[in-house]
Structure 1
Amino acid sequence: MTGDFSRDRRIVKTDEFSSVFRLRPAYRTAHFVLYTRRTQLPHARLGVVAAKRFAPRAVTRNTIKRITRELFRQSALPALDCIVRLSKPVNTRQDPATTGRLKAELRAELQRLLASASRREADDAGSAT
């Protein structure tokens, strides 16, 4: 991976999101769901959905998106369309803001999610040959 996040590496159109969402969720963690779909493109693409009802503060939603994009750039994913969707609230009364601990937890969770997608595709590609 080149380490960039140019427009051709993003899922931006509603139809593209819908076609990936139609598939079953590939992976789940405590706060996130990852949807994947193989693509004919030479690289992976990413879409991030952080709903206001699960992260009411804009700073939290932006942090989630920023961490997800950073980890996506660093990972060497095969040609997949990936959508990471926040599925449970991340703000609690104990951790209302984006603290360092919350960021570290979200980063670890997202790393596991993207690593599992990469492993699964590598396994699928190996068994297909």
Structure 2
Amino acid sequence: MSSANYPKEARLHRPSEFANVFANRRVTRGALFTLHYCPNQLEIARLGLVIAKKNASRSVTRNTIKRVVRDVFRHRRLQLSHKDYVIRLHRHVTPCSLRELRKIVRADVEPLFDQWLA
């Protein structure tokens, strides 16, 4: 299934790439997450994640959040507009089970990406 992969080309790697997205100041907000975006010159949508320790103190929580966000992006990647997207956790995550956390994250992130489907 080649459509549901997450290659290196679909990721933001350098701090300058993140800074470019943040400098553009285009933002969409959800309950927990902020989606920053800007057009890129590539023929591919790219994703960057900023999950701060101050908002998700446990590494298990941060890793689960990243895993779910990447999965949502991975399944929509080929239909998304050719932009650079950065998902940033802007609110503290209340302690809950990992199953509940996955549902909460998916419910908040999916609508942010769905508005950019081509």
Give the 3 Å change call, closer, same or farther, for CA 98–25 of structure 1 in structure 2: farther
Match of 2:17 in 1: 16
* Identical positions, percent: 37
CA distance in 1, matches of 2:90, 2:43: 29
Match of 1:69 in 2: 70
Any gaps of 5 or more consecutive residues in structure 2? none
CA distance in 1, matches of 2:61, 2:97: 6
| Match status 1:102 vs 2:101 | yes
CA distance in 2, matches of 1:38, 1:79: 6
SS of the residue 1:43 aligns to: coil
Determine which of 58, 79, 83 is the counterpart of 2:82. Answer: 79
Q: Deviations along 1:94-117, whole A, 9 cap, x unmatched? A: xx2443222211101110111123
Once the two structures are TM-superposed, the CA of residue 60 in structure 1 deviates from its matched residue by 0.6
CA distance in 2, matches of 1:56, 1:98: 14
Deviates more, 1:98-107 or 1:15-24: 98-107
Match of 2:111 in 1: 112
CA distance in 2, matches of 1:45, 1:53: 25
- Counterpart of 1:35, as a letter, is H
**Would the aligned equivalents of 1:59 and 1:98 in 2 still touch at CA under 8 Å?**
no
SS of the residue 1:2 aligns to: helix
Taking only aligned residues, the RMSD between alpha carbons, in angstroms, comes to 1.4
**Would the aligned equivalents of 1:25 and 1:33 in 2 still touch at CA under 8 Å?**
no
CA distance in 1, matches of 2:6, 2:34: 21
- Counterpart of 1:46, as a letter, is L
Match of 1:43 in 2: 44
CA distance in 1, matches of 2:33, 2:4: 23
